[in-house]
C-alpha cells in the first residue's frame, strides 16, 4: 500500500503546525537522563531529579516561548503547548511539575492578575527563580470549586487580605509544588469585602521563607506516596489568618477599592457584573491546563502503543502446525484488534488535539482584540471534551498494552508500570472526567447560549425544558472541508453511507443530534411531570432538579461521548482529505476508516436501538473492523514510527528479548 517514505510523511502530518518545536524536544531530551528511569527511584530522589530537570528545562528557549504572557506580548502559545505535550513522551513527573509551575501557577498570575503582577512575577516564574503552587482543590470537595471553604477577607484597617482555612475540609489538598519547592501560592478563596462574599478569587500567599520553612500561619503537609508521579511534591496547605497586602489579590476580574471616607470598609468592583459569569471567566483561564493534560495523556499513550506494537511484530507465540515457525502476536486477530483499534483512536486524538491547540493559539495568541465570548465558550467545551477523550483513552489503552506484552509487560524495566501509574490520575485532575462530561453535555443542551451559564442544575433543566426543540451540531474542526464532504455524501440511511467519508460524518452528526435532542426532551418531560401546574414557570420551581439530574445523568454522559466522537472524526477526516501524497493519504484513510468502524461497533447498541443500522449491517461492521485490522497490520511499524518517539524514551529490554 505504501512505500518507506510514509512514516516521515505521516509524522509530518501528526507533528502538525509546530513540528519544529517537536524536533527540538526530540533532539534536546533524547537521553536516559531525561527519560523516565527504568527502575524504581525512591520518592525523595525522584523529587530531586524532577526539580533539577524543571530548572534545567526553564533555561530552554522553547519552554518560555508561550509563557511571557504580558498583554501585548503573548508569545507563541501554540509552540509552548506543543512542547509541553512532548514532555508527555519523556517523563510524566516532569510534565506535571512543569505544568504546575508554568501552566497553573504562572498561568493563574498571567490570566487572573493584572499588569503589576505580570511585571513582578512572570519573568521570575519563567526563569525558575520563583517556584509556586496553584492552590485550588480542597479536602472537602474536589470538583466543586464554587463552594470552596477557604476565605480571603479584606481588612480595611490594615489594608490587608486575611487568608484563612475555617474548617479541616477547607485545607488545600494534592497541591503540586507544595510539599517541597513552592514559596508562593496562588490560593483560590471566597473573597469577602465589607462583610459580603463575592465568590471565588485568587490571592497570592507566601508559604515558605528563604530557608524553605513554612511562614507563620501556614501549615504544610506532604501527601507522600501516590500511585504514580513520584517526582511531584504534592502537599496540603492550611492557612491560619495569614495576612497579605491587598495588592496580592489577582484582580483582573474583581478588585478591592481601599477604605475611604465614603466607603470605610472598602468596596468590591468587577468588570463583570454577573457572579456566575465572573466565576466562569476565572475558570476559563484553566483551559490551557485541560488542553495540556489531554495532550500529555495522548503522548504517553503513543509511547505505550509503540512499545506494544513493536513487540507484537517480533514476539512469537505458538508455532504453525507441524512446523518450528513461530507465529508473531500481530498475526492473531484478537491481538490486532486489541492494539490497532486504540492506535486508530490515538491518531484521531492526536490530530484533534493539534486542532485544539491551534484553536487556542488563535484565540489567546496574537489576535490583538478580545475574543468573542461564544468562541471562548466553544474552546472551553472542546478542551473539556478532548481532556476526557485523551485521558480515558490513556487509562484503557496503556492497560491493554501492558496486557498485550504478557509477563514482560509486568516488569518495571519495560516502562508500562510508570506509564500506567503516572497517567492514572489524569482522568481525575484538571476536572474529573465524569464532571467534565456533564459540563460538555450542558454546553450541548444550551448551544452555548448566554442565558445559561452556571452549573445550576435547576436553571439548566428549566432552560432545556423550554428552549431546545431541535439541535444542530456546530462543526468544530476541519472547516469547509467537512461541509463539502457531508454535502456529497449518499445520506446517512443509505446502505453505503459508512463507506463514504461524508456519510460517516453525517452518521456521527446524527448520533450527536439525536442524543442531545432526546436528552432535552427527556428533561422537559421530567420537569413537566413534576410541575404540570405551571408551565410558564421560568424558574423551574417545583421540580426536584437533583432527581431529574439523577434520572438523566447517564443520558448526558452518552450525549457528551457522541459529541466527542464527532469532534474526533472531523479533525481526522479533514486532515486525511487534505493529505497530498497519494500513498500516505490511502494509509491515513484506512486508519480513519478503522477509527470510524470501530467507533460505530463500540456504540452498535445505540445505532441498533435507534434503527440507524440493521442487525445484518451491525455484523458486517464487525467484519469490516477485522478486515481493516488485517489491512493495517503490515503497516503497523510505519504507523508507530510516525509518532516520532526518540529512542531514549522507549529504551527497554522488551524489544531485545522478543
Q: What does the CA dihedral 318, 322, 325, 329 come to, rounded to 10 degrees?
A: -30
Whole-angstrom distance, CA of residue 97 vs CA of residue 95? 6
Q: Which of 3, 550, 634, 647 binds a second copy (CB under 8 A)?
A: 550
Q: 173 with 137: CB under 8 angstroms?
A: yes
**Helices within 91-172 (DSSP H only):** 92-98, 107-112, 115-117, 123-127
Nearest to 495 by CA among 607, 597, 612: 612
Candidate list 226, 449, 514, 522; residue touching a second copy; CB under 8 A: 226
The residue from 72, 195, 368, 554 that contacts a second copy (CB under 8 A) is 554
Using the contact rule CB under 8 A, the part of the chain among 24-32, 184-192, 253-261, 406-414 near a second copy is 406-414
**Element containing residue 554 per DSSP (H, E):** helix 545-578
Q: What character string, x for contact with a second copy (CB under 8 A) and - otherwise, covers 43-72?
A: x-----------------------------
Within 556-575, the residues that bind a second copy by CB under 8 A are: 557
Q: Which one, 531 or 641, has the nearer CB to a second copy?
A: 531
For a second copy, the binding residues in 130-149 under the rule CB under 8 A are 137, 139, 141-144, 147
331 part of the interface to a second copy, by CB under 8 A: yes
Residues 232, 131 contacting (CB under 8 angstroms): no
Among 34-42, 64-72, 154-162, 246-254, the segment contacting a second copy (CB under 8 A) = 34-42
Sign of the C-alpha dihedral, residues 441, 446, 452, 458?
Answer: negative
* Piece of the chain touching a second copy by CB under 8 A; list 64-72, 456-464, 481-489, 494-502: 456-464
Binding part of the chain for a second copy, among 123-131, 189-197, 268-276, 413-421 by CB under 8 A, reads 413-421
Q: Compute CA 349 distance to the chain's CA centroid, rounded to the nearest angstrom.
A: 11
Is 327 one of the binding residues for a second copy (CB under 8 A)? yes
Q: Looking at 430, 453, 513, 570, which residue is catalytic?
A: 430
End-to-end CA distance of the chain: 27
Assess 119 for contact with a second copy (CB under 8 A): no
C-alpha closest to that of 91 among 32, 134, 131, 48: 32
Give dist(CA 387, CA 477) in Å, integer. Answer: 16
Query: Whose Cβ is closer to a second copy: residue 122's or residue 389's?
Result: 389
> Could you say whether residue 12 binds a second copy (CB under 8 A)?
no
Binding residue for a second copy, selected from 28, 194, 328, 455, defined by CB under 8 A: 455
How far apart are alpha carbons 217 and 212 in whole angstroms?
Answer: 15
Provide, rounded to whole angstroms, the least separation between the CB of residue 625 and a second copy.
9
CB 204 within 8 A of CB 184: yes
Q: Which residue in 532, 580, 582, 609 binds a second copy (CB under 8 A)? A: 609
Residue from 116, 158, 484, 619 in contact with a second copy (CB under 8 A)? 619
Binder among 270, 292, 385, 427 for a second copy (CB under 8 A): 427
Task: Give the count of beta carbons closer than 10 Å to the beta carbon of residue 52.
Answer: 11
Q: Does 626 bind a second copy (CB under 8 A)?
A: yes
Provide the b/e sequence for 372-408 (b: ≥16 CB within 10 Å).
eeeebbbbbbbbbbbbbbbbbbbbebbbbbbebbeeb
Confirm whether 601 is a catalytic residue: no
Which residue in 12, 114, 428, 447 binds a second copy (CB under 8 A)?
Answer: 428
Cα(565)–Cα(385) distance, integer angstroms: 9
Tell me which of 546, 578, 634, 647 binds a second copy, using CB under 8 A.
Answer: 546
Rounded CA-CA distance 473/507 in Å is 12
DSSP 319-341: E-TTSS-EEEGGGSHHHHHHHHH
Window 151-180: residues binding a second copy (CB under 8 A) = 173-174
Count of positions on this chain that bind a second copy (CB under 8 A): 82
Does 447 contact a second copy by CB under 8 A?
no
CB of 60 to a second copy, least distance (A): 29
| Nearer of residues 115 and 325 to a second copy, judged by Cβ | 325
Q: Is 118 a residue that touches a second copy (CB under 8 A)?
A: no
Q: Which stretch binds a second copy (CB under 8 A): 65-73, 177-185, 331-339, 585-593?
A: 331-339
Residues annotated as catalytic (active site), given as ranges: 430
Amino acid at each position: 500500500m505504501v512505500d518507506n517514505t510514509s512514516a516521515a510523511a505521516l509524522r509530518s502530518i501528526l507533528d502538525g503546525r509546530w513540528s519544529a518545536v517537536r524536533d527540538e524536544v526530540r533532539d534536546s531530551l533524547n537521553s536516559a537522563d531525561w527519560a523516565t528511569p527504568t527502575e524504581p527511584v525512591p520518592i525523595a530522589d525522584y523529587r530531586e531529579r524532577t526539580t533539577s530537570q524543571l530548572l534545567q528545562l526553564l533555561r530552554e528557549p522553547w519552554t518560555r516561548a508561550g509563557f511571557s504572557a504580558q498583554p501585548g506580548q503573548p508569545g507563541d502559545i501554540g509552540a509552548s503547548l506543543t512542547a509541553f505535550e512532548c514532555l508527555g513522551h519523556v517523563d510524566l513527573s516532569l510534565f506535571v511539575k512543569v505544568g504546575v509551575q508554568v501552566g497553573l501557577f504562572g498561568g493563574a498570575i498571567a490570566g487572573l492578575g493584572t499588569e503589576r503582577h505580570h511585571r513582578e512575577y512572570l519573568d521570575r516564574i519563567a526563569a525558575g527563580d520563583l517556584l509556586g503552587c496553584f492552590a485550588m482543590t480542597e479536602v472537602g470537595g474536589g470538583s466543586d470549586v464554587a463552594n470552596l471553604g477557604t476565605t480571603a477577607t479584606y481588612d480595611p484597617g490594615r489594608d490587608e487580605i486575611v487568608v484563612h482555612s475555617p474548617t479541616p475540609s477547607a485545607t488545600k489538598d494534592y497541591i503540586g509544588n507544595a510539599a517541597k519547592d513552592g514559596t508562593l501560592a496562588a490560593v483560590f478563596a471566597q473573597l469577602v469585602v465589607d462583610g459580603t462574599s463575592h465568590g471565588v478569587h485568587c490571592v497570592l500567599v507566601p508559604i515558605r521563607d528563604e530557608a524553605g520553612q513554612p511562614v507563620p500561619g501556614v501549615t504544610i503537609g506532604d501527601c507522600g506516596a501516590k500511585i504514580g508521579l513520584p517526582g511531584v511534591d504534592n502537599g496540603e496547605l492550611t492557612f491560619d489568618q495569614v495576612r497579605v497586602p491587598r495588592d496580592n489579590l489577582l484582580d483582573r476580574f474583581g478588585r478591592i477599592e481601599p477604605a475611604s471616607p465614603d466607603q470605610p470598609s472598602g468596596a468590591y468592583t468587577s468588570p463583570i457584573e454577573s457572579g456566575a459569569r465572573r466565576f466562569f471567566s476565572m475558570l476559563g483561564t484553566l483551559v490551557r491546563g485541560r488542553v495540556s493534560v489531554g495532550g500529555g495523556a495522548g503522548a504517553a499513550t503513543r509511547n505505550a502503543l509503540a512499545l506494544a506494537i513493536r513487540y507484537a511484530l517480533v514476539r512469537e507465540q505458538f508455532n504453525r502446525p507441524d512446523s518450528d515457525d513461530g507465529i508473531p502476536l500481530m498475526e492473531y486477530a484478537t491481538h490486532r484488534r486489541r492494539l490497532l483499534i486504540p492506535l486508530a483512536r490515538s491518531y484521531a486524538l492526536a490530530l484533534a488535539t493539534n486542532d485544539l491547540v491551534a484553536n487556542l493559539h488563535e484565540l489567546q495568541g496574537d489576535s490583538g482584540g478580545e475574543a468573542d465570548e461564544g468562541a471562548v465558550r466553544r474552546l472551553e467545551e472542546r478542551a473539556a471534551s478532548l481532556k476526557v477523550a485523551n485521558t480515558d483513552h490513556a487509562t484503557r489503552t496503556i492497560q491493554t498494552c501492558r496486557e498485550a506484552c504478557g509477563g514482560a509487560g509486568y516488569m518495571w524495566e519495560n516502562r508500562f508500570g510508570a506509564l500506567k501509574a503516572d497517567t492514572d490520575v489524569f482522568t481525575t485532575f484538571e476536572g474529573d472526567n465524569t464532571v467534565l462530561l456533564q459540563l460538555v453535555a450542558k454546553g450541548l443542551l444550551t448551544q452555548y447560549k448566554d442565558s445559561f451559564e452556571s452549573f445550576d442544575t435547576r436553571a439548566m433543566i428549566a432552560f432545556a425544558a423550554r428552549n431546545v426543540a431541535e439541535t444542530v451540531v456546530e462543526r468544530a474542526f476541519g472547516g469547509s472541508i467537512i461541509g463539502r464532504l457531508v454535502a456529497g455524501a449518499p445520506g446517512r440511511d443509505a446502505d453505503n453511507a459508512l463507506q463514504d467519508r461524508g456519510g460517516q460524518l453525517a452518521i456521527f452528526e446524527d448520533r450527536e443530534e439525536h442524543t442531545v435532542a432526546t436528552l432535552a426532551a427527556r428533561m422537559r418531560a421530567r420537569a413537566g411531570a413534576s410541575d404540570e401546574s405551571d408551565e410558564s414557570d421560568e424558574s423551574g420551581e417545583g421540580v426536584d432538579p437533583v432527581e431529574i439530574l439523577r434520572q438523566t445523568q447517564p443520558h448526558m454522559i452518552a450525549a457528551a461521548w457522541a459529541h466527542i466522537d464527532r469532534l474526533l472524526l472531523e479533525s481526522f477526516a479533514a486532515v486525511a482529505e487534505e493529505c497530498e501524497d497519494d500513498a500516505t493519504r490511502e494509509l491515513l484513510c484506512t486508519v480513519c476508516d478503522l477509527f470510524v468502524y470501530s467507533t460505530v461497533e463500540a456504540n452498535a447498541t445505540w445505532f441498533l436501538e435507534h434503527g440507524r443500522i440493521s442487525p445484518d449491517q451491525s455484523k458486517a461492521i464487525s467484519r469490516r473492523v477485522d478486515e481493516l485490522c488485517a489491512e493495517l497490520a503490515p503497516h503497523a511499524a510505519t504507523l508507530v514510527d510516525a509518532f516520532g518517539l526518540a529512542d531514549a524514551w522507549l529504551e527497554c529490554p522488551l524489544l531485545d528479548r522478543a
